[in-house]
């Protein structure tokens, strides 16, 4: 259900792109986005494990995800910082609010008292996780720069298809009935349709043009 509800960030991203960047996707792309959201709504309406606080937190996360993607695209197009500078300052400015939230929730003590800091195996996995987080941030910026915030958001949801099927088939805590399964598959199908539309509309490479001395233009491979 988490992976299904995360698809609302796609609709929010499309709306913010139109409002802030003036980008209006073609009708087929819009329909694929509406299909993802429709599937999520169908699944949510039949979700026996509905929790208001949980849904509120997911929708809040969706809103911030959409805002982050669209504003990143806006700054990348302005070329003020570039993808490297934007990723660096985005991580740097989050240190203060993250520290404040950790202190407010009382998690600082958990960090200090954690016994695994001296475990070499934990240190290796922790540093590997940090490195992969950096790679994830960089590739996200790169994808947004060369495509759009909407494409980046959809890719983030498409990668969760495997997680969705794993959760339905192998997790004992899955409580969804047939309607939930139908809703999830509508959302998954719409995600794949979006990817197909984007790959189909990818422009072909422009062939170089050579001009002879007599003025004739010849396209060369």
**DSSP state at residue 212:** -
Q: Does 219 score more than 50 pLDDT?
A: no
At residue 219, what are phi and psi to the nearest 5 degrees?
A: -85, 125
pLDDT band of residue 207 (cuts 50, 70, 90) is very low
The pLDDT of residue 112? 80
- Average pLDDT across the chain, whole number: 79
Average pLDDT over residues 163-167: 72
Q: Indicate the number of domains in the chain.
A: 1
Q: Which residue has the higher pLDDT, 155 or 79?
A: 155
Q: Does 211 score more than 60 pLDDT?
A: no
For the four alpha carbons of 147, 150, 156 and 162, in that order, the dihedral sign comes to: negative
Rounded to a whole number of angstroms, the CA Rg of the chain reads 22
pLDDT band of residue 175 (cuts 50, 70, 90) is low
Q: Rounded distance, CA 156 to CA 150, Å?
A: 10
Q: DSSP string covering 183-194, please?
A: HHHHHHHHHHHH
Q: What global pTM score does this model have?
A: 0.70
The pLDDT of residue 124? 94
DSSP β-bridge partners for residue 219? 209
Q: Rounded distance, CA 131 to CA 65, Å?
A: 21
The pLDDT of residue 128? 95
Q: Of all helices (H) and strands (E), which one includes residue 211?
A: strand 209-211
Average pLDDT over residues 114-127: 90
Q: Which two tokens stand for residue 48?
A: 């026996």
> By three-state DSSP, how is residue 79 classified?
coil
* Domain that residue 163 falls in: 2-219
Average pLDDT over residues 47-66: 84
The pLDDT of residue 89? 83
Q: Which two tokens stand for residue 152?
A: 């980046």
Q: Rounded distance, CA 143 to CA 139, Å?
A: 6
Q: Which residue has the higher pLDDT, 176 or 143?
A: 143
DSSP β-bridge partners for residue 217? 211
């Amino acid at each position: 259900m988490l992976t299904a509800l995360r698809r609302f960030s796609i609709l929010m991203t499309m709306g913010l792109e139109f409002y802030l960047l003036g980008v209006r996707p073609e009708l087929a792309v819009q329909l694929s986005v509406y299909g993802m959201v429709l599937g999520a709504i169908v699944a949510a309406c039949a979700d026996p494990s509905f929790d208001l606080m949980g849904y509120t937190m997911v929708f809040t996360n969706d809103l911030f995800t959409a805002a982050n993607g669209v504003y990143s695209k806006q700054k990348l197009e302005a070329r003020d910082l570039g993808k490297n500078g934007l990723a660096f300052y985005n991580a740097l400015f989050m240190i203060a609010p993250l520290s404040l939230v950790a202190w407010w929730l009382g998690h600082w003590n958990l960090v200090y008292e954690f016994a695994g800091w001296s475990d070499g195996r934990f240190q290796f996995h922790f540093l590997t996780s940090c490195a992969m987080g950096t790679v994830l941030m960089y590739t996200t910026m790169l994808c947004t720069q060369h495509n759009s915030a909407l494409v980046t958001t959809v890719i983030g949801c498409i990668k969760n298809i495997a997680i969705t099927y794993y959760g339905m088939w192998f997790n004992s805590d899955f409580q969804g009935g047939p309607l939930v399964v139908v809703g999830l598959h509508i959302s998954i199908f719409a995600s794949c349709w979006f990817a197909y539309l984007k790959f189909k509309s990818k422009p072909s490479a422009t062939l170089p043009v050579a001009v002879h001395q007599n003025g004739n233009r010849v396209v060369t491979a």
